A and B are shown apart, each in its own frame.
Chain A
Amino acid sequence: MKKLLYPAVVMSLILASCSSDDEAGDVQQDVDVPTNYSFERGGETTVQFPGQTTRLQMSTELIGSFNNFDTATEESLLNMFAHVEGANDFENTDLNASGKNIKSKTAASADYFSANATESAEIKADFESYISDQVNIVFPNENTIAEPGVAGQIADGSSVRYVNEKGVELNQVFAKGLIGALLTDQILNNYLSTSVLDEASNRENNDNQILDGDNNYTTMEHKWDEAYGYLYGDPSIPTENPNSVLNESDDRLLFNYLGRVDGDEDFEGLAEDVFTAFKTGRAAIVAGDYELRDEQVAIIKENISKTIAVRAVYYLQAGKEAIANNDMGGAFHDLSEGFGFMYSLRFTNNTNTGAPYVSPSELETFKTQLLEGNGFWDVTPETLDTISETMASAFGFTVAEAAN
């Protein structure tokens, strides 16, 4: 059924739904949804999101530096996180020249954090603590075998994992947590927020084709593209047709896991739904059809939120299986990814409530349960099942659907 949602069908659905609504009908019939994410004005593209690509590249390089035992320091990693323009923090010199950084956009959305500076600061501090603990707790034990209460290395098949004293791989928690705190938060709760899309005179300017300074786009168009860029902005992803490299790009953040979830037949078609909603919404903005735009926002919010929840459940269940097979190294890797995705649930957005699908206080309880005592060394299958079931039911899928 989902596969039928090709543009033409979407168009006809839109047209069909319009016919009962005479007033809006004339406008909506003008919405022309292209095959690709390709929008032009005067023969030149109106789509740009270099700032998003920059932050994704910064995130990737920072995450990749977590295990640079010989060269990374607490200071060097924290500087990558809170980069200052011109500082030589990255190998990629283009990033050094940028005035953008990761930290300022972490837990920084208009909807969730503009009036919640306290929690925003706590979340930023969490990410900084992952960096500090990696350098201060894991690095000194690089050549120590990990044990309960002792950081060090542990075999995962022919790979090696470096964990803290609770069995947590901090680079995984950081990476998967950032998928929520930076990417998802910025997409769902900032750039696709009505308060951002419709800020000030954005609608009026968009209706009247008043462009954003010297740029070839209206402010509203650009906000939408910035949301798009956090998902599809990795340089290995073609902007116009991102799903052509689904599960084949170099991206290891949100787009990668959108592909993974789409590859599970229980959620097949999800990646196409998200892309179709993005281009339909963008076309609706061009046509000035804000009702249609907001319908697409709801589709994107639901599916990206679900992507994170499915991976959280998937990894907690994979960790449970690995523990049962006495494969603690494999289990810690899975559980660390699961913990990070669970952390990211804080940034999901249920459009019925305007809040995360699982409450922040409940997520705090889960984190405590997973980390108490010796953490992953002695977490029980019952705890992993209970948390998995709570998360899955909040989203309306089953643990089994996510786990396979």
Chain B
Amino acid sequence: MIKKGLFLLLMGMIVFACSEDESTNPDESDDAFDRKAMLVNWADNIIVPSYTAFNTEAKNLETVINNFTENPSVETLQQTRLTWRESYLTFQHVSMFEIGRAEALNYRNRVNVYPTNTSEVDNLIAEGNYDLSLPSTIDAQGFPAIDYMLNGLAVTNEEIVAFYTTNGNAQNYKDYLNTLAETISTLTETVLNDWNNGYRDTFVDNTSSSASGSVDKLANDYVFYYEKALRAGKVGIPAGVFSNEPLPEKVEAFYKEDISKQLAIEALQATQNFFEGKHFNSATKGESFKTYLAYLNTIKNGENLGNLITAQFETAKTNLQGLNDNFSLQIENDNTKMLNTYNELQRNVILMKVDMLQAMDISVDYVDADGD
């Protein structure tokens, strides 16, 4: 509350400062930046292509998992893991777009809440009767639950495969794994179809600069994702920033062990790409937060804010690259590096959530959860 209070105070001072400006330059408050061009670039060159790519990956994962459950072996298990990793990486490119149908479906939470609740997974498998649309099953599905089922059921590959072959409940294990993959695939297709069947137009036409406008909403979703899911979820929480002790078991892909860094870098690159308007899987760039800031000519500490944010993305990325592939090991062996990385990620929270949103006259629409 203190932070929020300070923020409001700051906001108040800024509003006051702005109103002074307005008296000398009354036309400045509503800028003439082409919001529509930015929305079109976001939708057509980033969001829809990302979902399209991930939808293909998700379908592929469903097929490969289906094949694994029909022919369980160490070999098919290893193939499945590779596909799971590829699709998990691509998912990092859509996770930030929790808007429209994705928001209504609670999409990000259904696909990637971790750590997964292994006792809940075990229970549901034992019962053989579940409804993954229930919010209470959110921590028993998605990529983290598949991680547990492919990597965490036992120590050796042979022992894991045995759950799908000789285990007395093998059919339930197969069914649950298939349902997990099918659920990710169905959810993703639902979101993608919505974009392709009308939502894209709704989204790009809603150029209002109010809280309900597409720019304001997606900016909030984006910053929320960066702050909560990326900075806190992937790095801060396991490093113990929000608890008394580090929590190395809370890293992403805990059971796979060696891809938590890769996932975090992919996610950071995806958020940077979006900030810079970079088309999915292409070097071309279009209208973006960064070009918007350039248009507004927002200067902080004598530098263009957009350039500062890009530079900070690079610094954070360099820090991430210096960490162990397995964040759990990094935390256990030298958590200082993990905390330093968190600090670098945090700097862009300030630059984007405070400086950028203020420059664009966008109000933050979320508050820190109460925690009880």
Contacts and interface: CB of A to CB of B under 8 A. Distances in A.
A126 interface: no
A145 B1 contact: no
Interface stretch (B3-11, B45-53, B301-309, B311-319): B3-11
B109 A265 contact: no
A265 B6 contact: yes
Given A155-B106, A329-B135, A266 B370 contact: no
A157 interface: yes
B135 A264 contact: no
Interface string B273-305: 000000000000000000000000000000000
A404 B136 contact: no
Interface in A299-340: 318, 321, 325-326, 329, 334, 337
Contacts of B138: 155, 158, 160
B1 A263 contact: yes
B136 A252 contact: no
A263 B6 CA distance: 12
A276 to B, nearest CB: 21
B2 interface: yes
A145 B367 contact: no
B2 A321 contact: no
Given A145-B133, A160-B138, A155 B109 contact: yes
Contacts of B5: 264-266, 404
B2 A263 contact: yes
A256 B4 CA distance: 19
B365 A143 contact: no
A220 B8 CA distance: 46
Contact of B135 (A160, A252, A318, A334): A160
A154 interface: yes
Contact of A318 (B6, B134, B367): B367
B293 to A, nearest CB: 26
A260 interface: yes
Interface in A118-171: 142-143, 145, 153-161
Contacts of A143: 131, 134, 136
A161 B366 CA distance: 19
Given A143-B131, A143-B134, A321-B367, A158 B4 contact: no
Contacts of A260: 1
B113 interface: yes
B139 interface: yes
Interface in B121-145: 131, 133-136, 138-139
A337 B369 CA distance: 14
Interface residues of A, number: 27
Interface in B91-134: 103, 106, 109, 113, 131, 133-134
B136 A158 contact: no
B205 to A, nearest CB: 20
A179 to B, nearest CB: 12
Contacts of B109: 155, 157-158
B180 to A, nearest CB: 17
Contacts of A159: 135
B135 A154 contact: yes
Contacts of B103: 326
Contacts of B133: 145
Given A143-B136, A158-B113, A404 B372 contact: no
Nearest to B133: A145
Contacts of B1: 260, 263-265, 404
Contacts of B6: 265
A384 B135 CA distance: 27
Contacts of A404: 1, 4-5, 8
Contact of A153 (B134, B369, B370): B134
Interface in A357-381: none
Contacts of A142: 136
Of A154, A158, A404, most buried by chain B (CB within 10 Å of CB) is: A158
Contacts of A263: 1-2
Contacts of B370: 318, 334, 337
A159 B136 CA distance: 8
Interface string B1-39: 110111010000000000000000000000000000000
Interface of A: 142-143, 145, 153-161, 252, 256, 260, 263-266, 318, 321, 325-326, 329, 334, 337, 404
30 contacts: A143-B136, A145-B134, A145-B135, A153-B134, A155-B106, A155-B109, A155-B138, A156-B135, A158-B109, A158-B113, A158-B139, A160-B134, A160-B135, A160-B136, A160-B138, A161-B135, A252-B372, A260-B1, A263-B1, A264-B2, A265-B1, A265-B2, A265-B5, A318-B367, A318-B370, A326-B103, A337-B372, A404-B1, A404-B5, A404-B8
Given A143-B131, A158-B113, 19 more contacts: A143-B134, A145-B133, A145-B134, A153-B136, A155-B135, A155-B138, A158-B138, A159-B135, A160-B138, A256-B372, A263-B2, A264-B5, A265-B2, A265-B6, A318-B370, A321-B367, A329-B135, A404-B1, A404-B5
